[in-house]
Amino acid sequence: MDKVLVVGGAGYIGSHCCKALAASGREVVVFDNLSTGHEDLCLWAPLVKGDVCDKAAVSQLFEDHQFSAVFHFAAKSLVGESAAKPAFYWNTNVSGTMNLLDAMVHHSVPNIIFSSTAAVYGEPDRPLIDETQTLAPINTYGRTKVACEQMIRSYAEAHQLGYVCPRYFNAAGADADLETGEDHSPETHVIPILLEAARGIRGKFSIFGDDYATSDGTAVRDYIHVTDLANAHVAALDHLVLGGESVAVNLGTSQGASVKELIEVARTTTGKTIPTEVAPRRAGDPAQLVADATKAQTLFNWKPTNSTLEQIIDDAWRWHLKRF
């Protein structure tokens, strides 16, 4: 049985990926420092506590296990924090990735799936974004992810590594069986914040701008169910194992939803009124960010089958009621 390493497997996307990998018949080991992850979400693999920035700990991990692939989710990802603490982000995101790559080369681990982001594109010049869009990140977080992608390509060229760099758009929802889901502190993602307002934990839900050039004036984003995202990662590894090319690909649905649409679906799903208020636009927020996910669907024979707004919000709502 193939044994795979999931770095950051106690986190939101990582834990869902662990479930999908286990379902595919792989043996999984989680490596996580639990700075944002949760030990109780490690249901499909043993947890080795450790930090990617600890080179000795990473080396020992690879000495103790013979891995066939690495899934790398461990990163700092808050845009505002990345501006205030650039050294922390460069060290964690970039140096941590280098430690993993060095260990992979030393122990002849052939494949890596690296968690990237649509933030590598910055402010795109087109509403439907494909992989030919220029990489022009506008914040430290996005810049570290571009640097990691470039570093992975360099290692791949020198050491014949296979890689896929999935660039996420808006991961959302929760495991339909409610075994894992989103649990961040502080919470920064729009759907959990919306559900916190539905539960009365927050006051009014803020709509940041209602005068965009969109159908209803509010910003449009591409929301992909986290289970679809996890299944895409398994498909990406299958692609590499079968000799497929190393690539960076967008993971989204190729469909956009506005903030007002989110609110209406959440009101219907939860049965709550959800008070809202219009707030000023946030700097750097484009009117529309939607993935062209054709490349991933074609290469990996994969489709997002769980990503209707109704299912995303229903699964997230049921998880929130259980978890909190």
Catalytic residues, which ones?
A: 141
Tokens of 113: 């799936």
The structure tokens 């009117």 sit at 287
Relative orientation angle of helices 226-241 and 12-23, to the nearest 10 degrees: 50
Q: State residue 113 phi and psi, 5-degree precision.
A: -110, 115
The set of residues, in sequence order, having a beta carbon less than 8 Å from that of 260 and lying 6+ positions away, is: 207, 210, 216, 217, 218
Q: State residue 320 phi and psi, 5-degree precision.
A: -65, -40
Q: State residue 244 phi and psi, 5-degree precision.
A: -70, 160
Alpha-carbon gap, residue 252 to 93, rounded angstroms: 23
The set of residues, in sequence order, having a beta carbon less than 8 Å from that of 169 and lying 6+ positions away, is: 118, 221, 222, 223, 224, 250, 251, 252, 253, 289, 290, 291
Report helix, strand and coil shares of the chain as percent, to nearest 5: 40, 20, 40
DSSP type of residue 70: E
